[in-house]
Amino acid sequence: MLDFEKAKEQLIQCIKEVKKIADDKKDETITEDIDYELDKLSKNRFNLAVVGQFKRGKSTFINAMLGEKIVPTAVVPLTSVVTVIKYGPTLKVTVNFLDGSEEVIPVKELDKYATEKGNPGNEKKVKEIVVEYPSEFLKKGVNLIDTPGVGSVYQHNTDATYHFLPKLDAAIFLFTIDSPVSQNEYEFLKDVKEHAVRIFFVLNKIDYTEENDVKEALDFATGILKEKLGYEEIKIFPLSAKMALEAKETHDEEKLRLSGLPEFLSKLDEFITRDKGKALLLSSCNSALRFISRLRFDIELETSAIRTPVEELEKNIDVLKKKIEEIEVEKKDVVLIFEGESKELLAQLNSEYEKFKNSEYRKLEAALEEYFRSNAALPLKELIEKTREYITGKTLEAIDSWKEGELKRLAEASARITGRLGEKVEKIITGLQQLTANMFHIKYESFIRIENFKEAGYFYYNMEPEKNYLLPTPLAIAPFLPRFIAGKMAFNNLKNWLQQQFDRQCGRVRYDIAQRMEKTFKEYYNYLDNKITETAATIMGLLKEAICLKKSGEDRVKAKLEELEGFLERLNEVESNVIRVKDHVERTA
């Protein structure tokens, strides 16, 4: 039987030693991550993250788990920062800011800090939000994490979720009946799988369709996930978070049962009760091994560089400079391909936009005429107002319908484009690291991680402010004209108003989507370019430092080598200890 406390203490000592090595080496790049892991493990905090693409119902799902509307929900990209929900005797919301300060706020003000509307671009510099809630489930040491949806137009939302991945222990991955597991979700799942020791799969929104369609979606998703992720067996829980939350709020036990949530919570609770401790230990073991790999590469490279004769070292630097020059040329080729594909996607958007506008306007014009004639008996003023209200609704409905379909198509297409770009850049960086490792006879294990799911994703616009503009020109003189003349004038004015406003609204939507696509593509390329630049600068910096050290005298070289060898010995020892703890945890029930 696993002695959790003993294994935990052994692992804490290992991670503390890794931190000491990083401190002694003056490597500040991973100390924050190590501190977080130590704090989480020492406090038995188990991070269970609810993850998935934008608009999968993650916040509603969390509210259903809690049985109360705590985290904000909406139909647009909402959650903009990570929200941690942990046990507390009473409901309390604390906002932690990037500058280290914090503020306790009323729960009703949560949307002012956690949402894109209340905190656009995280302009309020929120690090994370902590919600304390009196839940028996959370009392078992579970932190429930509400993450921003990946794949939304807001790049910082995707960043926030991705940066949290190394801190999670298990995950609940949500996808929906209307779009079961897209290509970009597979890519994201690969990254989640690297960090989560257990993933629960949930098919949400089953109330949107018939039972046969649910079964078909389950079979399809199960087969694809097995193929893509290599699982032999996989369990997907079908449920409706919306139905479950409504049932809990109205104390409707039958509706709650039909929602599917109780079955899922039963399995989750079983896992938390029986396997949480083991999963937490394995997750921390994997984190510790990643820290060790990152440190070892730099130490071994620096050691080998110092031992290399200056003349050979300078030749190696020249080879690497040439390689970096080749990379610069390769980057230009990649940019041309990337720009070409992104422009082609924008051209497709414009083409689809024109098709929609031309076909849909004729339908709306016909609907306006039919409604106006069907209600011709109404007083003219009332007829104008009701026609305007009716056609406004039809217009917004038509644009929304087209927008949703088009955005799904764009999300898939942009995921393919950015995925290919990410793979090319990862190959460039890995090639540079591998070349360096071969030059200095270092064992190379790739630890580069490209955030390959940063696609344009789902775009949206907010039509609400525009509704005020959907007004026809006032027919001030109509009351003084014969009814048939006033009616004809009103109808023609309504047609003109419809055309103007339809063109205006469609144009705004197209422009908004195009701008966001261009911005997201540009941000993603800059991110990849920085990855290449940072990798090259780190390698060249270490080699140039080695030359300076060798020219400063043998005593300093000898002292430095002894220091680095000491680091490696300590790393090897702590790695052996971590592996020993991990093997013991995996073998023990």
Q: 27-77, pLDDT tens digit by residue? A: 877 888 899 899 989 988 899 988 887 678 888 899 999 998 888 764 334
Q: Are residues 257 and 373 in the same domain?
A: no
Burial call 519-545: b when 16+ CB within 10 Å, e when fewer? ebbeebbebbeebbeebbebbeebbee
Q: What is the CATH number of the domain that holds 65?
A: 3.40.50.300
Number of domains into which the chain is organized:
2
Same domain for 201 and 251?
yes
Residue 145, pLDDT above cutoff 50: yes
Answer yes or no: is 328 within a domain. Answer: yes
Is residue 282 in a domain?
no
Q: In angstroms, rounded to a whole number, what is the distance separating the alpha carbons of residues 171 and 36?
A: 18
Across residues 325-350, what is the average pLDDT?
A: 85
Q: What is the sign of the dihedral through the CA atoms of 498, 502, 504 and 505?
A: positive
Look over the chain and give the mean of its residue pLDDT values, rounded to a whole number: 82
Name the most confidently modeled range: 149-163, 396-410, 454-468: 396-410
Q: What average pLDDT score do residues 328-342 get?
A: 84
Residue 147 domain boundaries: 47-274
- Indicate whether 240 and 357 sit together in one domain: no
Q: What is the pLDDT of residue 494?
A: 86
For residue 454, tell me if it sits in a domain.
yes
* Residue 573 located in a structural domain: no
458: phi then psi, degrees, rounded to nearest 5 = -90, 125
- In this structure, are 379 and 243 located in the same domain? no
CA distances to 77, 286, 379, 530 from 119, in Å: 12, 34, 46, 27
Question: 358 and 505 share a domain?
Answer: yes
Note whether 490 and 532 are same-domain residues: yes
At which residue do the structure tokens 């971590």 appear?
578
Contact 128, 113 (CB under 8 A): no
Q: Is residue 463 over pLDDT 50?
A: no
Instruction: Provide CB contacts within 8 A for 303, sequence distance 6+.
Output: 561, 564, 565, 568
For residue 480, what pLDDT is reported?
54
Average pLDDT of the segment spanning 15-36:
90
Residue 468, pLDDT above cutoff 50? no
329 in a domain, yes or no? yes
The answer for residues whose C-beta is within 8 angstroms of residue 229's C-beta and 6 or more apart is 186, 189, 190, 193
**What is the model's pLDDT at position 158?**
42
- Asked if pLDDT for residue 132 goes beyond 60, the answer is yes
Same domain, 490 and 405: yes
Tell me the per-residue pLDDT of 1-12, one tens digit each, with 9 for 90 and over. Answer: 778 899 999 999
Please state, in angstroms and rounded to a whole number, the distance separating the CA atoms of residues 156 and 241. 26
Give the list of residues 6+ apart from residue 272 with CB closer than 8 angstroms, or none: 46, 137, 140, 142
Residues 107 and 252 reside in one and the same domain: yes
Q: Are residues 469 and 517 in the same domain?
A: yes
Regarding whether 77 and 177 lie in a shared domain, the answer is yes
Q: Is residue 190 part of a domain?
A: yes
| 303 touches 568 (CB < 8 A) | yes
Nearest residue to 507 (alpha-carbon basis) of 353, 366, 295: 353
pLDDT digits (tens, 9 = 90+) for 76-118: 344 457 889 999 999 999 999 988 899 999 988 888 888 777 8
The last residue of a domain, from among 274, 296, 318: 274
Residue 581 lies in a domain: no
Are 267 and 324 members of one domain? no
Give the integer Cα–Cα distance in Å for 364 and 385. Answer: 17
Question: Do 268 and 320 lie in a common domain?
Answer: no
- pLDDT: is 403 or 14 the higher one? 14
Asked if the structure places residue 20 within a domain, the reply is no
Most confident of 273-282, 334-343, 513-522: 273-282
